[in-house]
Amino acid sequence: GKALKEVVFDGMSLPPFKPLREGVEARLNAIKHLETRPTDILLAIYPKSGTHWVWEIVWMLLNGRAEYIKEGKESLFLEAMDDIGTIKSMDSPRVLNTNLPFRWLPQKHVESNGKIIHVIRNPKDICVSLYYHFIGSGLFMHSDGVQFADCFEGLFSKERKPPYGGWFSYEKDFEEAVSNNYNIHVLYFENLKRNPMVEIKRLAEYLQVPQSTKLLHEITDSCSFNKLKRADDTLKEKNKYKKIVVGANPKFEGDVDKVQYNSFFRKGEIGDWKNHFTVRQNERFDELYRKQMVDSKLTIYFE
């Protein structure tokens, strides 16, 4: 078909980012053995669970002002950035981010109790978010080439190698890491959506940064869905960014200027899965969830 073939490694299918296409094992090992700094913050989050959102909040808290910057998150996205060596010249504190599972995180950072922020989102909404991400992104495949059912099967069916090894194993591994007392701050997407002030304050405490009520209010306001979406939409770099993403797909045949900008701020709601899942898909998912998460103590908020 027209789709750009995914990269498969260690039981995971990974997005076809250039560094992964050109040498997945080398890049993953470079991440694992990354020379981290004690001041680094690492966001380790399954795809479509709110990485962009939380990256902005963390950056604002660390810098003490509620100002949006877009290039920041992408320039520290470990498996996608062109040259991972460029992080050496970046100022501290660096807000590193990745969708890789716990076992592939930078070991020095993990073992020295470096700060790790982990966001959990309910996987039904992740499925919907991923579907629109596939549709909107020239990086993955042509917009006419993906159906919701494909996305559902790709994410949840046992026969496939799901993105980043799949949500179930991703979260089970993190649950175990938390129980092993690594320095992980766990945050739920749904709680952040419902009680942003409370969760942003908890983040500030974890990061050990000064937090005036005024700053917390400003960040809550600047990081609301509508404000972030508007800030992102009005970016001057929008077109440049679009070209980088689409241009990374060597199989892309269309007109880059006609491709829709793939916003990471789509709808930002809880429970959009109800508008997309069939009754049958929902039953299959619930059954799978019961089996997969039988030993888990996680509470997931599906609505």
Residue 119 vs 141, nearer CB to ligand A3P:
119
Residue 211 vs 263, nearer CB to ligand A3P:
263
- Beta pairing partners, 186: 118
How many CB atoms lie under 10 A from the CB of residue 85? 9
Site string for ligand A3P, 190-209 (x = CB under 6 A): ---x----------------
CB of 253 to ligand A3P, least distance (A): 26
User: Within 13-52, which residues bind ligand A3P (CB under 6 A)?
Assistant: 47-52
∠ Cα 55 60 63 (to 5°): 125
C-alpha radius of gyration, the chain, whole number:
19
CB of 219 to ligand A3P, least distance (A): 11
> Among 6-14, 124-132, 148-156, 294-302, which window interacts with ligand A3P (CB under 6 A)?
124-132
CA-wise closest residue to 129 among 193, 57, 50, 12: 50
Left, alpha or beta for 265 (phi > 0: left; psi -120 to 50: alpha)? beta
User: Within 80-119, which residues bind ligand A3P (CB under 6 A)?
Assistant: none
Q: Which of 169, 183, 195, 224 binds ligand A3P (CB under 6 A)?
A: 224
The token pair at 121 is: 């989102």
Site residue total, ligand A3P (CB under 6 A)? 21
Alpha-carbon distances of 28 from 155, 171, 274, 275, 301, rounded to whole Å: 21, 19, 36, 36, 31
Interface ranges with ligand A3P (CB under 6 A): 47-53, 125, 129, 132, 193, 223-225, 228, 264-268, 272
